[in-house]
Structure 1
Amino acid sequence: MNQKYIINIIGPTAIGKTTLSIAIAQHFKTEILSADSRQFYKEMQIGTAAPTKDELKAVPHHFIHHKSVLDDYNVGAFEKEALYTLGKLFESHDVVVMVGGSGLYIDAIIRGLDDFPAVDPSIRSTLNETFEKYGLEPLQIKLKALDPQAFETMAIDNPHRVIRALEVCIGSGKAYSSFLKKSKIKRDFKTITIGLTAERAIIYERINTRVDKMMEEGLLEEVKSLQHLQHLNALNTVGYSELFKFLNGEWPLDFAVSEIKKNSRRYAKRQMTWFRKKEDITWFDYQAPVQKMLESIDNAMS
């Protein structure tokens, strides 16, 4: 039996992961598994910078627009479905490309999910009530106090993630981050991770340009079509929550767009903080030739 590999493409938002993943998948004549939790939802296309129709045609993709925002979907379900899909793909491919910026979902495939203690359900109810009454900020402040490491590395603009971390902190009396796995579980494949990076100013400029392009492509209209569903967890995310505030009359449009850019930059910073704590990543400048990355992959396989 041939050794199976996942080529894992990571990096901050707007760095060029999609383009690179397609080039590498075409080189190995294989398929792509997405580990971007925002791109799962078919109603969220423009605001998640999902692959275009042409990009989806160029290489078969999995876990792109396969769910609805109405579905109850989480990282545990993703891990189970993705591992099953990988098993099927490995029947006809020795290499599968994985791409995404959601560190928790990437880790679920490579390392497996962490084991957390059971906590009193009333804690989550209380936290949900706080969120409904006062918004996300007081919960973020509490998480920063109880678990600074989790605050710095997780998606703190995601209410579900913040509430989950807080309920573990409060219920166990220990930091949420203290339960994160320190070692990998054994998988039937090896992982080769390629990271794309750039100077911070370049990353921020690319983010700002992407947001402007999203607005030109109709992001506001996409968000308007989802306004009646804005209470759903899937839509509590950058690019959508800010424009809901505009549509609800809370913010002017220019300010909402500037907040999307600011929150996207913060998200990119958290992504890089998460990735830089990981081992066995070969980093490349975002403008490096694809051939140079392929040589690095070949060396890792030999």
Structure 2
Amino acid sequence: MPADPQPEALLTLLAVARLGRYTAAAEVLGVNHSTVSRRLASLEDTMGGRMLVRASGGWEITALGRRALAAAEAIEGTLRELGEDTGRDSLQGMVRVAAPEGFTSVFLVPAMVELQRAHPGLAVELLAATQRVRQNRSGVDLEIVVGRPVVHRAFATPVCDYSLRLYASPAYLERRGVPASIDELSRHPVVYYVESSLQVDELDTAMQRLPDSPPSIRSTSVFAHIEATAAGAGIGVLPDFLADVDDRLVPVLADAYAHPLSYWAVVRDEGPRNHAVAATLEALQRHVRITG
């Protein structure tokens, strides 16, 4: 009779499917890369086909692999229940979250500190990046993006709203004058992203209502925008949740310009069934509600 799939091999498949990489799965499971490879090869022999296929940026689960994932998740759930019955913390492993740096600093870091304090067995890796949603989410469990994403085989939910607005330092406005209209911004350097490196359409369109401006300081970092604006480099196009609490900055043309945006959370289609990922998203949403 053919051998039954081994539980450790199924749990290994689950880890690789979630993390997208053998090395990341090995780290979470506490084994080496060759052990992960050996377990998956054994599982494929037992199941009679490929469990994973290589894709750009990592490994993706196959249709046959999805059948095995259901059994792996059932095993994981049973083990979690046993841990809860014995009083052991059931939230273990690693969660990787990618998010824009401003959101990471204000919302994500405090939420994850609170979550990790409550569950010391959970490791959290934060990847700061302002980019469009990845259709291949290998290596990332939870992704925060600007604007409503169009995704396939994934779950997306809104997190919070914010706006880009205009700000400057009082010293700059005293030196250069306060613009009375949007058109007068053509006489002021505008601090914002480097246009050629901007990957998010919703951030790109923020400049469409503004006139061409003199040469200015541009950066791929929102915190560089904040610092350059505070130092008097020009008028910054800044997230209100960062600039409103910075006493070095004052609003400019508050009634004339605002570019509304929203943050969305995206997880793999199997992500909501991952206890650690679900707890991470819940902790983040709770923190945003409290601070919002």
* Structure 1 length-normalised TM: 0.26
Q: Which has the higher contact order (CA 8 A, sep 6+)?
A: 1
Higher helix share: 1
* Structure 2 length-normalised TM: 0.27
User: Which has more radius of gyration?
Assistant: 2
Higher strand share: 2
